[in-house]
Amino acid sequence: KAGVTQTPRYLIKTRGQQVTLSCSPISGHRSVSWYQQTPGQGLQFLFEYFSETQRNKGNFPGRFSGRQFSNSRSEMNVSTLELGDSALYLCASGEGSGNTIYFGEGSWLTVV
Amino acid sequence: GESVGLHLPTLSVQEGDNSIINCAYSNSASDYFIWYKQESGKGPQFIIDIRSNMDKRQGQRVTVLLNKTVKHLSLQIAATQPGDSAVYFCAEDSGGSNYKLTFGKGTLLTVNP
């Protein structure tokens, strides 16, 4: 069974631009959650989707948004990028009925 | 989990020794705890989990202990190997199945051959 797949793996953007990151969950998993990882703040929860509905949201500004499609694939978008948005963005998937979630390798975003 | 900061606790052990990594969590309502291992350049890898109705759970070479009285979690790795070198995170779920995990700041484990 394939793991969580995230694309792109690496990207560089300029301040003010926007970015879209994609996540394909483990087959059969209906929950997808997103986390931001930085050296200073560690791993922080962004949001979680289940059956195309956002169930939970972390303490991030409205520039961070996401969505989930009917096939459980998910995307997150960051608009008006700031230097501080440079981070590893991790996607995790779960079955939706338990608590174990499995992470992808992440998307490394650098904002210059 | 612990509040995050700039300094990452480190633990250095000799190959073959047992390792113990500790974590303090903050939310007494948390009912599910997980340990993840993260190698450089990779995403966190699930190691073991434990629910709040348990005190101890064992896996292959790993044991997680939960002390709810003092809100403390530990991960024990037996016969530590160089491949165990990584950053280890504890995470807590404050309830429900909404997958909103709070992570600790992590501990860097270095295994010396």
Tell me which residue of A97, A20, A105 sits closest to B41, measured CA to CA. A105
Beta B10-14 vs A64-68: how paired, if at all? unpaired
Structure tokens belonging to residue B62? 């790993």
List the single residue in A42, A50, A104 with the smallest CB-CB distance to B106.
A42
Whole-number Cα distances in Å, A31 to B49, B78, B94: 18, 33, 17
Measure the CA–CA gap between B87 and B8, rounded to whole angstroms: 9
Report chain A's mean pLDDT, rounded to a whole number: 94
Model confidence pLDDT, tens digit, residues A77-111: 999 999 999 999 999 999 876 668 999 999 999 99
Report the pLDDT averaged over residues B17-33: 92
pLDDT at site A84? 96
In this predicted model, what pLDDT tens digit does every residue of B33-88 receive, in sequence order?
Answer: 999 999 998 999 999 999 999 999 999 999 999 999 999 999 999 999 999 999 99
- Interface list for A 56-85 with B (CB within 8 A): 56, 58
What does the alpha-carbon distance between residue A48 and residue A92 come to, in Å, rounded to a whole number? Answer: 9
Beta carbons within 10 angstroms of residue B41's beta carbon: 10
**Pairs of CB atoms within 8 A across A/B:** 66
The whole-number pLDDT of residue B106 equals 93
Please state the rounded mean pLDDT for residues B91-111.
84
Q: Which two tokens stand for residue B31?
A: 């009912």
Residue A41 β-bridge partners? none
| CB of B15 less than 8 A from some CB of A | no
Q: Which two tokens stand for residue A15?
A: 């301040």
pLDDT tens per residue across span B32-41? 999 999 999 8
C-beta of residue B3 within 8 angstroms of C-beta of residue B18: no
Question: Are A76 and A89 in contact, with CB atoms under 8 Å apart?
Answer: yes
How far the first Cα of chain B sits from its last, in Å, is 31
pLDDT value at residue B95: 62
Q: Do B99 and A101 touch (CB under 8 A)?
A: yes
Query: Is residue B6 over pLDDT 50?
Result: no
A46 near A92, Cβ under 8 Å? no
Between B44, B98, B103, which is nearest A48 by CB? B98
B82: helix, strand or coil: helix
Closest approach of chain B CAs to the CA of A42, in angstroms?
A: 6
Smallest CA–CA distance from B93 into chain A, residue:
A99
